[in-house]
Structure 1
Amino acid sequence: MVMLPNQKIISCDKNAIEWLIVEVAPEVDLVALTDLSLKNPRRPFTKSLSELQASVDKGIMQVVDHSFPAALELRDADIEEKWLAMRNKALEAIHPIVNDQSIRLEYLFGDSAGIFSKLMKESGRSRKFIATSLNRFFAFGGFHNSLLPQYFMCGKNQTRLDDYFVIENNVVCLKSKPGPKTKFGTPHRMVTEQDRLQIAAFCKKIRSGYKVSLRKLYLDYCRQYCLVSVKPKGALDTDIAENLGVLLPPQFLISPRSFMREVKKIVSNLTFLRKEKGSINYDRDHAGKPGVAREGLRGPTSRYEIDSTVADIYIRSNYSGQEMIAIGRPIVFLVIDTCTTMIVGVHVAFDGPNWHSAGQALYSAMTDKVEFCASHGVTIKAEDWPCHHPCRELTFDRGGENTDAHIEALLRPRIGITAGNFNAYHRGDCKGCVEKMFDLLNQVIVHIENGKVVKNPRKEDQHASRKATVTYDQFMKILIKTIIHLNNTRTRVDSHNFEMSRDGVGYTPRDVWNWGIENAVMTPTVSREKVRYAVLPEAEATVQDKGVYFRGLYYCSDEIVKDLWLDKAKNEGRYKVRIRYTDTSTNHIWVTDSTLGKIIQLNLTTRSEAYKNQIWADVMSKLERKKGVLAEQVELRLAERVKLELEISEIDDEAKKNVRYLRQSQAKNIQPGMHGYKEVEAAKQKFYESMDIQTDLKQPNTTAVDTGSVRDSSGQDLTDPTIIQCED
């Protein structure tokens, strides 16, 4: 191994050897070394190069790099003038050795007597000054700053007592205590090595989750390490008494300042900040973030981020009559393209946050913006907001509306989305593009004076809801115009890559978006119908012979009847299908025909028309109440059935009692003559019914029969229909 100056040779065994290589002279097989283990540097000595190389090859010694103090690498402009003066004074005394290589080699490997005499004569300095300067020069690297005064070493080599000791009269010895004497009060003792170990152990137990106070920590430290247990006065050894904790006198304690100084050596300010804020909040709000959000993304539409926030403004109702009434603060959903920070979709709702509103925002992101803006009274050109593409990845937070089922339902129709990403809990910085966009929108929208939310309102002012003047339609116009302004004018330097800079692409999100759509990605074309279907929530329904059964209601359509869905369920057994629904209406559900790949709309059947034109929340509540009513009817039917069974039993017993004395045939064949008996019984039944008819038709003032159309002929039998005369 080649040995170089300013490397050091250390021993690989128990012998503590640390030699700095000053100079190597292969021609004379010598190496000049200086001993780094000494407190004060001494003159370099020489060793045989071949012997050292043999020791290194055998593993007895090892050649390693050596680091010098950082203060020796300072520029002259950064060094104090008095330090420079002392360095230059020493350089002037030994400059021949510093500047002349031959004289230096002669001093290290030859006779240095003549050299010393020459240096002393030329500089006028003492032999000790020159020898000390040379020893320091070689021990600290052999360059100009090696001769700087060693002030930077102050405090680096301090030693501490292992523990304090007490002299006579129970007094702590303060002989080794640094610093000025205490003028007022009792002096505290010095910090010992035992104290340092105790403070290090104490710092490991500092609790997280609250603002750390060093003064409070000192109290906790004293309570844990500086108490002595004392029995109550007068208590005997045989008494059961709780010991008292008494703090030691100040002379047995380290001072608060000494404690704080030691704590700061062990625990950094950033560690205290992490303990105060918590690991999650620290990583989110205080940790450095060298990366960019678009890392690893190909271009626009590679990833969208979606999130919601409550706008800092109250909205006025359109239906408040003559009074100005607020309807609350709207929830704004934004969809942001991560690569370009382009706002690609927006939705404003007053309920939620829920998946319905999130789906509306995603639908807005993947459909034409000209129609979307026109629906809110804003006229734009297609190039003003050219975003109508599905993305490949979608990033959500872990809100209650973003469930695994909803995300899987979004991926299943294959509209281009291939992955759904969930952020870690309470880590909004993982989708920093959309979080930052809320701040930018608020900065623009807060210029609306009336109805805006003030974080620290004056007590004499009205509540913001009392001054709401902007309606929902007006708010949507403001929001759309603000989004277009931000998309087309905001500067995003970090969104550029090499190709964009080469092609001279602008720095606005729209410029980066247009270049990326044309050059970086391939965007599929998806119909509005398929996008709308994809953002609907998915559930499981059962195909029965009566229709598709979903949440207690029945749905059907001509297409599934024609395709024999119901016939198959009736004859081969019920089966499950995946359907889409909207929680705003029970009228329809949608299903995909796996054979043709088309979307079929199923309508609510007459069987379930009692729940038509309603929202699912109300229907589910009614169905729950219906279960209670049906349960009561089951109980009532059971009681009535038991009552019926008792009455039938009584009649049956009476019938058996009536035939008890009648003669009963023992024959096995069918009873003969039943047909005749049956005809006689039928004739009797008709006779009695005709008598009832005659009685009803003879009643005067009857309202059931028009007396002007039916005339009664006395002495005639009304049972004969031929004698009734009807007038037209």
Structure 2
Amino acid sequence: MELLKNSVFITTGVDGVVDGTYRIVDILPAKDLIFLFELVSPEKLKKPVSLSLSYFVKCNQLEKLKSSGIDIPEYMLRSDEEIPSKYIDKRDSKYQVVADFLACPENIVDLAENVKSRVIKIHAKKHGVVPQYVRRSLNLYWYYGMGENSLLLAYAKSGGRDREKTSGVKKRGRPVFSINDYFTFQKGVNVDEGKREKIKKGAKKFYLTKKGVTLRKAYENTLKEFFKEELEGEMSDGEVRVPSYFQYCYWVKKIFSEHERVVRRTSVSDYNKNKRELLSVATSQAPLPGSCFELDATVADVNVVSAFNRDHVLGRPTLYFVVDKCSRMIVGFHVSLKFSSWEAGRQALVNSFLPKKQLCARYGIAIEEEEWPCAHLPERLLCDRGEFICSQPEKLVVPMMQLNIAPPYRADAKGIVERRFGIFNENLFHDLSGGVKKAVQVRGEVNPRDHAIFTLDEIGALLIHEIMSHNRKKLESLAVESEIFIQNGIDPTPINYWNYAISNCLNALSVLPEQDVVARLLPAKEVTLCSHGIRYGSNLYYQSGSEEFRRKVANARQNGVSKLEARVDKDCMDFIYVRLVKGASFTKVFLTKKSKIFASKHEEDVEFYASWKQSVFRGHGLDSRDIDAYEEKEEISRLAVAEVDSSPGLVNKSERYRNMRERRKEEASQEIMPHDHATDGKKLKVAPADDRLGAYGKEDISNVVSLLKRKKSK
């Protein structure tokens, strides 16, 4: 520790002084002396103590001294502009006396070493003041830091501010006045210690609770509970005996600090989320891009319709965002009709960890990889309890990255991704047809569902455009948090930060092959290898262009179906990943023509089709025409049976089948139309099979039936 004038320290085991806190008030190297002043109390008069300078230096080397300090009153920490002139005059007059005394080093030597020193009396007589004035001035000067303001008088403490005072007979506080002197009011009561204790109990019971009771209601309940006798007496003689509402408010706020009132009237989670101090930044625990990805879901403020029938409204979809906490880069998204779940959350992670070129192509958007260069894994993933509290995420995600679960009801723990939801609702969804701008709809307003026109795929395409625009947008928060933008002359945008971090190895990102991402995160399904290809569900069929696959399908037609392991990307039904051979990697197979209506559709669209199909084909499917046709067929059958029964009998059974060819020719040569009105009464002429069309001359071709010669098999 450096031994400097005006420094404060604590002594331990130093000969010549008792252990305590001291200030160095002067050092005289020529005389090998150092003078210490004990800091006990500014009111207690003390004399400086002299010690050998060389001995004191040795004590410092032996670590018998420890650096310390004292608190300076607030009224001394002001500039001259803030101090009234009359206080400055008194301060300066004291300082002049102290400065003249300390100008001669012999004065402090005499004061410290002589028990009956007369130097203070001599100096007081010189300045025309009493010795006590000099002693107290020196005491304040040495105690409070040896500055001019150390001699300021404590006028700021006048009146006993912040000190409890005993209540007397006279009423304290502002008197009550009538506005126009038409009425007179009683003075009210003085709140003594007893009433103050009752107010404290009433506030604790009625106001400082989680029920949200107002001060007015708490005041009334306090009077009913703790001032029963005073109220009864006041009602009998009209004399005021209870504190007024304003007195109640004053004492509640005086007894309980504002912080205590806020904490006790709200829950811990609400306080931490909405009322706590904000002394840090959201990126304090994510110093580099890739240090932490935030994942969360919300219900988008827009209604969607079915891709098969736009007249069918499907409601509001669930939107997932994955955002890099440091750079604000949106690295992935997922939109579906599923509610928040692990199944939807894992799909958002797959979209985040795989290249975005093929993701955008599903929505009909062509981009280059450098336009959205995000296909990486983070060091840590921060997500919600709703999606990742089950055991599956721990098994599948933890081997790839650290998984952190945010506390319940603490949206502020994922502030970056939560703010993205607000930005996209304001900038995109609220302006769309079918957008929901209010949480609560006012009666008489147009229902947003009546104007819904966008399908899930179209919402996805709009989101991609808005995400890429967001990643290119200049953000003031980035410019404040990192200096790389001004150092390298680049705009503070998420994509610039991301590219700079990757190119300069200032990131915590990692990569994983597509096959590994698919195998780990996409949901495992069981598909069937059948004669039509690979069947997933009851409506989707897939195929591969390889010759080996064709042979497997042919074998399935001959030997029966078999089960295969698959991974399904629910965002697009155009393809799935199938393990064709046990132990081999996954193969990407594509929709067949048999399932072409599901091209570029979500799994939700397939489910909608299945529901529609079930509703269409449910039940018997018969109507009155089917009943009439059935009755007519039965009548024809009855008549035919009657004709058979009325015909003459046969000699033997062989007669029934004899000469079938001749009978057939004879029957064919007869009129083939059963009713005359079918040809307006005209008889159809039968032409020989070997005649040509020109052989009929002027006959109407519409009345001729040509009997073609049957080709006999050799």
TM-score band w.r.t. shorter chain: 0.5 to 0.7
Asked if residue 284 in structure 1 is aligned to residue 273 in structure 2, the reply is yes
Which residue of 1 is the match for residue 362 of structure 2?
A: 375
Distance (Å, rounded) in 1 between the aligned partners of 2:575 and 2:300: 33
From 536, 541, 563, the equivalent of 2:522 is 536
Does 2:498 align with 1:513? Answer: yes
For the Cα contact (< 8 Å) 2:302–2:430, is it kept in 1? no
What is the deviation of 1:97?
A: 2.8
Q: 1:107 to 1:254 in 2, by over 3 A?
A: farther
Aligned to 1:387: 374
Do 1:44 and 1:108's aligned partners in 2 also have CA atoms closer than 8 Å? no
Q: Residues of 1 paired with 2:389 and 2:161: CA distance?
A: 58
1:81-480 paired onto structure 2 within 5 Å: 81-97=85-101, 100-106=104-110, 115-116=120-121, 118-119=123-124, 122=127, 133-134=137-138, 136-138=140-142, 140-154=144-158, 155=160, 158=163, 160-161=165-166, 174=169, 178-179=172-173, 184-192=185-193, 195=196, 199=200, 203=204, 207-211=208-212, 213-228=214-229, 256-295=245-284, 299-315=288-304, 328-399=315-386, 401-402=387-388, 404-408=390-394, 410-411=396-397, 417-445=400-428, 448=431, 450-455=433-438, 462-468=446-452, 475-480=459-464
Which residue, 451, 455, 465 being the options, matches 1:481?
465
Contact 2:306 2:455 in 1 (8 A): yes
Question: How many angstroms apart in 1 are the aligned matches of 2:494 and 2:382?
Answer: 19
Q: Is the 8 A contact 1:584 1:614 kept in 2?
A: no
CA deviation vs aligned residue, 1:409-442 (integer Å, no higher than 9, x gap): 6439x7xx33433222122222222112122223
Aligned residue runs from structure 1 range 35-50, under 5 A: 36=41, 41=43, 43-45=45-47
Offset at residue 285 of structure 1 (A) = 2.6
- Alignment partners' CA distance in 1, 2:496 and 2:254: 51
Gaps of 5+ in 2: 13-17, 57-65, 178-184, 528-535, 553-562, 592-603, 615-650, 665-714
Query: Relative to 1, partners in 2 of residues 1:296 and 1:120: Cα closer, same or farther, differing over 3 Å?
Result: same
- Report the CA distance shift for 1:198/1:457 in structure 2 as closer, same or farther (over 3 A): closer
Aligned residue number for residue 565 of structure 1:
none
- How far the C-alpha of 1:276 sits from its partner, in A, is 4.0
* Separation (CA, whole Å) in 2 of partners of 1:28 and 1:319: 99
- What SS does the aligned partner of 2:188 have? coil
Contact 1:30 1:49 in 2 (8 A): yes
Name the SS for the 2:471 alignment partner: helix
Q: Identify the residue that residue 678 of structure 1 maps to in structure 2.
A: none
Measure, in 2, the Cα distance between the counterparts of 1:288 and 1:502. Answer: 32
**Alpha-carbon contact 1:344-1:365 (below 8 Å) kept:** yes
Amino acid corresponding to residue 484 of structure 1 in structure 2: M
Q: Residues 516-665 of structure 1: matches in 2 within 5 Å? A: 516-518=501-503, 519-520=505-506, 523-527=510-514, 530-538=516-524, 595-596=583-584, 598=586
Structure 2 vs 1, CA of residues 599 and 408 (structure 1 numbering), >3 Å: closer, same or farther?
farther
Shift of 1:213: 3.4
Cα gap change, 1:538 to 1:206, in 2 (>3 Å): farther
**Matched AA of 2:502:** I
Offset, 1:384: 1.2
Q: Is the contact between residue 7 and residue 66 of structure 1 (CA under 8 Å) also seen in structure 2?
A: no
| Aligned-partner SS, 2:71 | coil
Check the 8 A contact 1:373/1:380 in 2, yes or no. Answer: yes
What secondary structure is seen at the aligned counterpart in 2 of 1:489? coil
Task: Give the alignment's TM-score, normalised by structure 1.
Answer: 0.60
Distance 1:207 1:501 in 2: 50
Preserved CA contact (<8 Å) 1:340 1:509: yes
Counting aligned pairs with the same residue, the percent is 22
TM-score in terms of structure 2 length: 0.61
Distance 1:178 1:512 in 2: 63
**1:262/1:103 CA distance change after superposition, 3 Å:** farther
- Number of equivalences: 583
Contact 2:210–2:264 (CA<8 Å) still a contact in 1? yes
Query: Which whole-Å CA distance do the structure 1 matches of 2:388 and 2:494 have between them?
Result: 27
User: Offset at 1:464?
Assistant: 3.5
Q: CA deviation at 1:397?
A: 1.3
Alignment of 1:67 onto 2:71: yes
Rounded to whole Å, the distance in 2 between the matches of 1:376 and 1:192 is 74
Q: CA deviation at 1:147?
A: 2.1
Check conservation: 1:584, 1:615, Cα contact below 8 A. no
Query: 2:712 matched to which residue of 1?
Result: none
Deviation readout 1:628-680 (Å, 9 max, x if unpaired): xxxxxxxxxxxxxxxxxxxxxxxxxxxxxxxxxxxxxxxxxxxxxxxxxxxxx
Unaligned runs of 5+ in 1: 11-16, 54-61, 165-172, 232-243, 542-549, 563-575, 604-612, 624-693, 710-728
